[in-house]
Amino acid sequence: MKENGSTTVLILGMLGFLSIVTLATYLFLQYSIQEIRKYETKEHSREALTAEAEKLVDLLVHDQTPYADSRLDAVWEYISESEGRKMLVNLTDISSCYGINWVRKEILDHSNLMKFGKSSAELQQYRWDTGLHLHLEPDFTEFFSSDVLRSFFTPYSYFNLNICDEFTIENLYFLRTGDREKARLFRLKIQEHWKDSTPGKPRMVEQGELEGFLGPDFEVLFPLLNAAPAINIHFAPEDILYQLLSYKYHNVPQSTAEFLLYNRSTQEWSEDELESIIGNKYIGTFLHHYIGVTTWFWQIEIETHSGEGDPFSLKWVVARIPSGPKNADKREYRLIEEEFSN
């Protein structure tokens, strides 16, 4: 009897152990299946979001008016239909502001954007000491409030030779070559070119003259350093446009400025049309190097909107590559930042 009882206990113990093992195996398999499904869902969402972002870039590349970017382009109609594809899509011009790395002292003094007690000369020295920056905050909070930084400045920008602080150009040259002495000589070359220039009648380097002016340095510096307008009038903040149009050496009539601001969301202008509207002040001053019709950096934000589970999101920053003398008709965008999350 004792042996039978011991055998029964042993069998029950083994059955209990097997039940625990079976349950653990089942739970592990369930967990594994859930993780596989989560991974598959994540990968499917990433693929869908990437395909959507690629479609936006394709629409930018094949825009029927490649000389200008505006609200009339086909990409905006496609974005307006994104809810039907169960996605939330935002496209933002992130380059049509003052470049925090290049904005010149006279524009800063005119705009009155700096914190009390801070000067444009101090900012120039800070940029010389610290080099080029990829972030607005906290890098420049010593000089500007957070609201001003977000409303008026951008780190996403190329460098127009005509409107860029010359010490920034020296730092850019040094960054590209690692040769500080050559960078210094290049800055002196630019300052010598500007020596006979006056604010009312500036001496400028136009896009067709850039390669000849830069000489052997063209291959080193282009397209980061160029002569293309930095800010797209169709998307720039209103306050920036008012500041640039009213600057004493540009001095665009208020009626003309109001016409441009009122109509820019419903019309698409070329640079020639801007010259026709603004007059000689556009081409005859630095204004046409500040204000143009092209967006150089776009931020694309896409979020799944199925209503099931947590949404997935994708953020891209894409840069349009300025055209050079060898590829004047080529339109090219490059992905420079990517962030996927859920």
Average pLDDT over residues 272-294: 96
CA distance 232 to 157: 12
Give 216's DSSP letter: G
pLDDT of residue 183: 95
267 neighbors 70 (Cβ within 8 angstroms)? yes
Query: Is 287 contained in some domain?
Result: no
Among 56, 68, 58, which residue's Cα sits nearest to residue 96?
Answer: 68
- Name the residue with tokens 């042993």: 10
99 occurs within a structural domain: no
Q: Is residue 259 part of a domain?
A: no
Confidence bin at 278 (pLDDT 50/70/90)? very high
Q: Give domain status of residue 75, yes or no.
A: yes
Could you tell me if 157 and 132 are in contact, meaning their C-beta atoms sit under 8 angstroms apart?
Answer: no
C-alpha gyration radius of the chain: 29
> What is the pLDDT at residue 11?
64
Is residue 19 a part of any domain in this protein? yes
Q: Is the peptide bond before 138 cis (omega within 30 degrees of 0)?
A: yes
pLDDT score of 72 = 96
Mean pLDDT comparison of 36-50, 80-94, 153-167, 307-321, highest-scoring range: 153-167
Least confident of 99-113, 219-233, 245-259, 315-329: 315-329
Looking at residue 161, the DSSP 8-state letter turns out to be T
> Residue 26 and residue 54: Cα distance in Å, rounded?
42
Please tell me the predicted confidence (pLDDT) of residue 184: 96
Q: Is residue 89 part of a domain?
A: yes
Summarize the confidence of residues 118-126 as an average pLDDT.
97
Residue pLDDT, tens place only, 217-237:
999 999 999 999 999 999 999
User: What SS3 class is residue 234?
Assistant: coil
Residue 238 belongs to a domain: no
Q: Note whether residue 336 is domain-resident.
A: yes
Full-prediction pTM beyond 0.75?
Answer: yes
Task: Identify the band that residue 342 occupies on the pLDDT scale cut at 50, 70 and 90.
Answer: confident
Angular region, 292: left φ>0, alpha ψ -120 to 50, beta rest: beta
Contact between 57 and 63 (Cβ < 8 Å): no
Question: What percentage of the chain carries pLDDT values higher than 70?
Answer: 85
Q: Band of the pLDDT at 46, cuts 50, 70, 90?
A: confident
- How many domains in the chain? 1
Helix pair angle (271-278, 254-263), 10° resolution = 150
pLDDT, position 35: 47
Spatial distance between the Cα atoms of 27 and 57, rounded to a whole number of angstroms: 45
In this prediction, residues 286-293 reach a mean pLDDT of 97
Tokens standing for residue 128: 């010389």
Domain that holds residue 46: 2-94+297-341
Distance CA 229, CA 159 (A): 9
Condensed to tens digits (0 to 9), the pLDDT of residues 182-211 reads 999 999 999 998 888 887 788 999 999 999
| Per-residue confidence (pLDDT) for residue 274, from 0 to 100 | 97
